[in-house]
C-alpha cells in the first residue's frame, strides 16, 4: 500500500499535527511518501527522513512558502497523478480543511474529512469521523479502488519517536505554478508565548461566567502554570472577553488535547462539538447539573473564582 502524507510547515517549522500522521498504525508493507512544499527545506527534510519515509516529494519555490490553494493544489495534483498513492493524508488544520476538498475535486476522488480514527483491514482503509456536532460518529469505507483522501483531526495520533538510521529518496517536483488569482499580502501572527490552541496538549477554557476581559486573567495565570493554551466559549467571545481565534466549538476551533479544563462553561452541544474528543475533560462549574459534567472525567462543583486562584497558588 502506498501512502502519501502531505506535510505542512509554518515559518520553517513542520507542524506537529503533520508529524502525528506518521504515528498512524500502517500495515508493515506500507510505502510511506511525504510531500513537502516550501522554499527552505533542508532541516525539514532531515526530520521527515527520521520518520521512516521512503520518498520525499519536494517542491521548492518562494511562492510555496505560504499556503495558497491554487498553487499548492497544482503541485500536489501533479504528485498524486504521477505516484497514484492508495491513500493521501493531511492534518485537518485550517490549511488541510481548505486544500483537501480542492484536491478531491481536481482528482475526482473521495474524501473523508476530520477523521478521529483510521484502521486498515484486509488492505481496506476504514475511517471514523464525528457527525452532528459530535453526538454521533460514522464509519467510512471507500467503495472506489482509486486514491482515497483523508484528513485527520490533530492530536488523534501520537508523534512517533524519530529514528536516526533511515535514508529516503528525494524527488524534486518541478511545476509551472499558475498565475495566481489571489495573493497573500500579509500574515499576522498572534503574539503569544502560549501554545497554539489547536495543537496544545492542555487547554484551559473560560465561559460567559468570567464576566469581563480582566477576569480572564485568572484563566491565563492558571494556564501559564501548566503550559496550557487558553480557549473560550462562544458566549465569552461574543461578550468581547476573548478574541474569536480562541473560540472552541462548532463555529470555532476543534481541539483534541490530552486535557481540556472547562471553567464556568455550561457544555452546550455547540461547545462540545469543538472539544468532545479531548482525552480527559475536567469541568469546574457551580451548577452540579451543568451538562458539561456528563462528558467530564473529573468535575469540581464550585466557584471558579475561588478554585482557580487556589490552584494557581498551589502550583506556584
Ligand atoms: C449555530 C450556533 C453555533 C454555536 N457555536 C458555538 C461554538 O462554536 N462554541 C461555543 O462555545 N458555543 C457556541 N454556540 C453557543 C452555545 O449554544 C452556548 O450558548 C454557549 O456555548 C454558552 O457558553 P457558556 O457555557 O460560556 O455560557 P452559559 O451557557 O451561560 O454557561 C455559563 C456556565 O457557567 C457556570 N457558572 C456561572 N458562574 C460560575 C462560577 N463563578 N464558577 C463556575 N461556574 C460558573 C453556570 O453554572 C453555567 O453552567 C453556538 C450556538 C449556535 C446557535
Task: Parse the chain into domains and list their residue ranges.
Answer: 2-172, 202-315
- Report how far residue 247's alpha carbon sits from residue 142's, in angstroms, rounded to the nearest whole number: 33
How distant is the alpha carbon of residue 83 from its chain centre? Answer: 26
Q: How confident is the model over 253-304, as pLDDT tens digits?
A: 999 999 999 999 999 999 999 999 999 999 999 999 999 999 999 999 999 9
**pLDDT score at 132:** 86
Residue 138 buriedness (CB in 10 A; 0-12 / 13-18 / 19+): exposed
Q: Which residue ranges have their beta carbon within 6 Å of ligand 1?
A: 207-209, 233-236, 247-252, 264-266, 268, 270-271, 274, 284-287, 290, 303-305
The answer to whether residue 28 scores a pLDDT higher than 90 is no
Of 55, 18, 61, which Cα lies nearest the Cα of 41?
61
Tell me the CA–centroid distance for residue 288 and ligand 1, in Å.
15
The pLDDT, as a whole number, for residue 230 is 98
Contact between 203 and 278 (Cβ < 8 Å): yes
Query: Do 202-315 and 2-172 have the same topology in CATH?
Result: yes
Bridge-partner residues for 260, per DSSP? 203, 281
Mean pLDDT for all residues in the chain:
94
The number of residues making up the chain comes to 316
Whether the pLDDT of residue 189 is over 80: the answer is no
Which residues contact residue 139 at a Cβ distance below 8 angstroms, ignoring those fewer than 6 apart? 126, 127, 128
CA of 135 to the centre of ligand 1 (A): 17
DSSP secondary structure of 209-247: GG-STTTHHHHHHHHHHTT-EEEE-HHHHHTTSS-GGGB
Q: Does residue 10 register a pLDDT over 90?
A: no
Ligand 1 atom closest to 284 (CA): 43
| CATH class of domain segment(s) 2-172 | alpha beta
pLDDT single digits (tens) 71-114: 999 999 999 999 999 999 999 999 999 999 999 999 999 999 99
pTM: 0.85
Q: What is the average pLDDT across 128-149?
A: 91
Ligand 1, atom 35: nearest CA belongs to which residue? 264
Q: Which CATH architecture has domain 202-315?
A: 3-Layer(aba) Sandwich (3.40)
Amino acid at each position: 500500500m502506498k501512502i502519501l502524507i502531505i506535510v505542512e510547515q509554518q515559518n520553517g517549522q513542520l507542524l506537529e499535527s503533520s508529524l502525528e500522521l506518521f504515528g498512524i498504525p500502517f500495515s508493515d508493507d506500507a510505502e510511506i511518501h511525504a510531500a513537502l512544499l516550501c522554499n527552505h527545506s533542508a532541516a525539514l527534510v532531515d526530520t521527515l527522513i527520521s520518520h521512516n519515509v521512503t520518498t520525499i516529494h519536494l517542491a521548492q519555490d518562494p511562492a510555496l512558502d505560504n499556503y495558497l490553494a491554487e498553487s499548492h493544489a497544482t503541485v500536489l495534483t501533479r504528485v498524486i497523478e504521477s505516484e497514484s498513492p492508495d491513500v493521501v493524508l493531511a492534518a485537518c488544520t485550517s490549511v488541510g480543511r481548505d486544500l483537501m476538498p480542492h484536491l478531491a475535486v481536481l482528482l475526482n476522488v473521495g474524501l473523508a474529512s476530520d477523521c478521529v480514527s483510521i484502521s486498515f483491514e484486509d488492505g481496506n482503509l476504514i475511517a471514523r469521523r464525528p457527525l452532528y456536532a459530535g453526538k454521533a460518529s460514522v464509519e467510512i469505507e471507500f467503495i472506489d479502488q482509486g486514491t482515497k483522501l483523508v484528513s485527520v483531526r490533530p492530536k488523534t495520533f501520537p508523534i512517533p519517536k524519530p529514528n536516526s538510521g533511515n535514508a529516503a529518496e528525494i524527488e524534486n517536483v518541478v511545476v509551472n505554478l499558475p498565475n495566481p488569482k489571489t495573493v497573500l499580502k500579509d500574515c499576522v501572527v498572534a503574539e503569544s508565548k502560549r501554545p497554539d490552541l489547536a495543537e496544545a496538549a492542555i487547554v484551559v477554557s473560560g465561559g460567559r461566567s468570567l464576566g469581563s476581559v480582566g477576569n480572564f486573567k485568572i484563566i491565563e495565570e492558571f494556564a501559564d502554570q501548566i503550559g496550557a493554551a487558553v480557549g473560550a466559549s462562544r458566549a465569552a467571545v461574543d461578550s468581547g472577553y476573548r478574541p474569536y481565534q480562541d473560540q472552541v466549538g462548532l463555529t470555532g476551533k476543534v481541539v483534541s488535547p490530552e486535557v481540556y479544563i472547562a471553567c464556568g462553561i455550561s457544555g452546550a452541544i455547540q461547545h462540545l462539538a469543538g472539544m468532545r474528543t479531548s482525552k480527559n475533560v475536567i469541568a469546574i462549574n457551580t451548577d452540579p447539573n451543568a451538562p458539561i459534567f456528563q462528558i467530564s472525567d473529573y468535575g469540581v462543583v464550585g466557584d471558579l473564582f475561588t478554585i482557580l486562584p487556589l490552584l494557581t497558588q498551589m502550583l506556584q
